[in-house]
């Protein structure tokens, strides 16, 4: 009868002794993530109403928004026969890093104000959402806040190629910005950014001081259009 080996072979023991000297493969190093754009900027939650650094006026290209999902024919913004171009998404109080939202406020949003604002923000749901999330952080009453929105929007000239296009508009980020700067000499190149979904323009954002004069945008407010060309969908 053969005896079973009770001890490991010398080759096996040698391999165990050399294992610590060989080391383990290192995991590949990862590049640091780029800073987020405004859509991903950190919300710092409810802040003190009126305590912020500057505003961002966000203009939404309505034909692109209306492509995001199927809307009923009676929808105020995207329903049948609704031919909106640039509309106001919001006027957002901002910190240099992040933003406040849903700040404590004793002011209410009157229905008369909602009706008045519909011509530049064509959705009652959007108006109420923007007041509750952003307007309450302005330190203003709802009437005063939306009066500021109206003042800014009325003082902004939409470049003629983007007023009522019936066919797709193909441009570049540089040309898009230049057209806004040419139509609005009060703006500076550093105060305007553009947001895209792929090649399609989604929003134009303009940074403003509390007195509504243009100012350079903060670090979180920057361009997200990366393709060589920018396309604007035609009005529906």
| 89, 203 Cβ separation under 8 angstroms | yes
Taking the CA atoms of the chain, what radius of gyration do you get in angstroms? 27
Q: Which of 96, 129, 134, 189 is flagged as catalytic? A: 134
- Runs of H (alpha helix) within 54-110: 62-65
**Which residue reads 């007041």 in tokens?**
131
Question: Looking at residue 40, what DSSP letter applies?
Answer: G
129 a catalytic residue: no
Q: Which of 89, 101, 150, 203 is flagged as catalytic? A: 89
One-character DSSP codes across 53-67: SEEEEEEEEHHHHTT
Tokens standing for residue 90 = 């919001």
134 a catalytic residue: yes
Task: Classify 196 as helix, strand or coil.
Answer: strand
Q: Which of 129, 130, 132, 150 is flagged as catalytic? A: 130
Active site residues: 89, 130, 134
């Amino acid at each position: 009868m053969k005896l079973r080996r009770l001890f490991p072979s010398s080759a096996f023991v040698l391999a165990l002794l050399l294992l610590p000297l060989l080391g383990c493969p290192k995991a590949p190093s990862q590049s640091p993530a780029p800073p987020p754009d405004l859509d991903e900027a950190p919300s710092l939650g409810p802040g003190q109403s009126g305590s912020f650094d500057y505003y961002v006026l966000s203009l939404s290209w309505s034909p692109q928004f209306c492509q995001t999902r199927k809307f009923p024919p009676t929808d105020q913004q995207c329903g049948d026969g609704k031919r909106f171009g640039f509309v106001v998404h919001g006027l957002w109080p901002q910190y240099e890093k992040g933003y406040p939202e849903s700040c404590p406020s004793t002011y209410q949003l009157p229905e008369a104000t909602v009706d008045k604002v519909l011509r530049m923000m064509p959705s009652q749901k959007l108006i109420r959402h923007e007041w509750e999330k952003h307007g309450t952080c302005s330190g203003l009453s709802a009437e005063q806040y939306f009066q500021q929105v109206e003042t800014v929007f009325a003082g902004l000239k939409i470049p003629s190629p983007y007023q009522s296009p019936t066919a797709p508009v193909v441009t570049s980020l540089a040309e898009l910005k230049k057209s806004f700067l040419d139509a609005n000499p009060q703006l500076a190149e550093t105060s305007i950014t553009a947001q895209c979904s792929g090649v399609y323009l989604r929003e134009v954002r303009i940074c403003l001081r509390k007195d509504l004069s243009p100012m350079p945008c903060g670090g979180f407010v920057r361009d997200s259009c990366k393709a060589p060309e920018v396309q604007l969908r035609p009005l529906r």
